[in-house]
Amino acid sequence: MTRFLATAAVAALAGLTACSGSAPVQEDRVTAPVQPEPTAAQSAPSTGAGGGTARPPSSSASSGAKEACLLFNSLFAGYAAVPSGDAEGYEDIYRRAVGAKDTVSGDLRGLFASLSLLAIDHSAAAASGGEPQQESKDAVRDAVFANAGTCTAEGVILTL
């Protein structure tokens, strides 16, 4: 069981390393302001097929981002509420975070990947009464900072 948890923690950390670069965050921030401008420019011409196609993905992506941010806050609150020695409680948060990660794309995946890493790390430490590694805590903090702009733009403030 411990070997499985250690393997899962290492795999999650490797996934976070791949997802946590700052370049994609900047690309998302650049992409978001650019999309409304072409949509406004495309609304003026009578051929609105491109503009009509551009709007629905933006609104569905934004509602998906809002839902993901709210879900992260909910899962993190659940994580914080788990008693420190309850390994199964942390494993439940881990499973829910992994499931949530599979429903989002882009940098938002990092929120759930980092939370799953923290939860499984805390689960392994709970058996001995210890705390999760500082790297796991830092990964969640970094993911929250990386996604703060996206979530705040959707009216959701990420909380730790």
Q: Quick one: pLDDT at residue 69?
A: 95
Q: Quick one: pLDDT at residue 20?
A: 46
Asked whether the whole model's pTM tops 0.75, one would answer: no
Q: Quick one: pLDDT at residue 21?
A: 46
Q: Quick one: pLDDT at residue 9?
A: 52
Q: Which residue's structure tokens are 């302001």? A: 33
Q: Which residue, among 75, 104, 102, 101, has the nearest Cα to 89 in the 3D structure? A: 75
Q: Which residue, among 146, 145, 122, has the nearest Cα to 134 in the 3D structure? A: 122
Q: pLDDT per position in the chain (160 positions), as tens? A: 555 545 555 555 445 444 444 434 444 443 334 434 333 333 444 443 444 333 334 444 555 899 999 999 999 999 999 998 899 999 999 999 999 999 998 889 999 999 999 999 999 998 888 889 999 999 999 999 999 999 999 999 999 8
CA distances from 101 to 68, 72, 73 (A): 9, 10, 14
Q: What is the pLDDT of residues 7-54, one digit of tens each?
A: 555 555 445 444 444 434 444 443 334 434 333 333 444 443 444 333
